[in-house]
Structure 1
Amino acid sequence: MIVGVAASTAERVRLARLLGGADALLLVSNAEQARAFFELTGTAPRIVTAPETPQIKAVPEPIAELRLDVERRVVRWKDRELPLTRLEHDFLHCLVAEPGRVWTYQRLHHAVWGNEHLGHGSHIHSVVKRLRQKLASLGAAVTIHAVRGVGFHLLPAT
């Protein structure tokens, strides 16, 4: 059995894709949930941690200064921070994880909402609008840029 611990829905979806071929897979949002599971089953887990994925490309400085606190679901720019909703956090987490990469509407929808339904996309645009406002109110030098008909990516503000 493989137990994946990831705070955000986007991270759990990513783990599910990576480990989908496992015979048994349990995805939880924190270590306490995993401990509770093993206490209920009466088994002792063997803990293996995955190495961090190395950053291949240099991240533009303004984007590198943007911080997400996954435990508290806040976005931080320099000495200021603002709370995020789960959707805002998971959406921004995708963009921050791969700065500059264009995330398609479909890929974002799957990572954040966990399904393939796109509908008319107004819910995605609503999250983007709120995130842009929050980033601007922090004075962050980054913004969410729309790629018409494709999706979004995080770029230094111009």
Structure 2
Amino acid sequence: MRGIPIASMVIGIASSPAARRQLAQLLGDTEAFLIVSSVDQAREFLGGVEAPSAPPARPPLPVVVGEVVAGPEPSASPPALVVDSDRRVVRWRDREIELTRLEHDLLLCLVGAPGQIWTYERLHLTVWGNEHLGRGSDIHSVVRRIRRKLATLDASATIDAVRGVGFRFASA
């Protein structure tokens, strides 16, 4: 690979605005740098790079869709769909079901931004780590399996298809 310039970039992770400012000052002499607030943002920027095989320093928090409302009756609060990344399961009320890696990663994308449309291209890049080619039967197959599992749980959350564009998650 002679003659090909190698570009380098420093990616800094800082969770608070003050820490990001301090990190920007420290990296000020660096040719190129990016500061993000989480490891997940860094992975998203890098195009879905898989995590290293070593366990993370702290386990990721499950993604919860829904709202828990304090009140006298437990039935007054809407149920939440929970994607547990540690165990790779989806939980609805008191029931849960296992997910494959592709199902987990795709569902995590969708529930992370309820109502937002994820294009086929963006889902393919984020979940599979490569560019979307063809008619999207691989994405449709995974969505069909997730829908079946949500139906098995009797979850009222759905994955809506946006014809010719992609999918979006709709919580109850």
TM-score range, shorter chain: 0.5 to 0.7
Highest Rg: 1 or 2?
A: 2
Q: Which has the higher helix share?
A: 1
The runs of 5 or more residues in structure 1 that have no matched partner are 5-10, 21-25, 36-48, 53-58
Q: Which amino acid aligns with 2:170?
A: L
Counterpart pick for 2:157 among 139, 142, 149: 142
Is this contact kept in 2: 1:143–1:154, CA < 8 A? yes
Please list every run of at least 4 consecutive aligned residues from structure 1 whose deviation after the TM superposition is greater than 4 angstroms.
Answer: 1-4, 11-14, 59-64
Number of the residue aligned with 2:51: 28
Contiguous gaps of at least 5 residues in structure 2: 1-9, 14-37, 68-76
TM-score with structure 2 length normalisation?
0.60
Distance in 2 (CA, whole Å) between partners of 1:15 and 1:63 is 32
Compared with structure 1, are the counterparts of its residues 149 and 3 closer, same or farther at alpha carbon in structure 2 (3 Å cutoff)?
same
Query: Which whole-Å deviations, capped at 9, do the CAs of 1:20-67 have from their partners, x for residues lacking one?
Result: 9xxxxx96346x3578xxxxxxxxxxxxx9xx9xxxxxx665997110
Matched with 1:55 is none
Tell me how large the CA RMSD over aligned residues is.
3.5
Q: 1:73 to 1:17 in 2, by over 3 A?
A: closer
Relative to structure 1, the CA distance from residue 145 to residue 12 in structure 2 (aligned partners, 3 Å threshold; closer, same or farther) is farther
**Cα pair distance change 1:104/1:66, threshold 3 Å:** same
Q: Retained in 2: the 8 A contact 1:145–1:154?
A: yes
Which of 76, 81, 94 in structure 1 is aligned with 2:96? 81
Contact 1:63 1:96 survives alignment (8 Å): no
Structure 1 residues 93-144: Cα deviation after superposition (integer angstroms, max 9, x where no partner): 0001111100000000001000113222101000010000000110101110
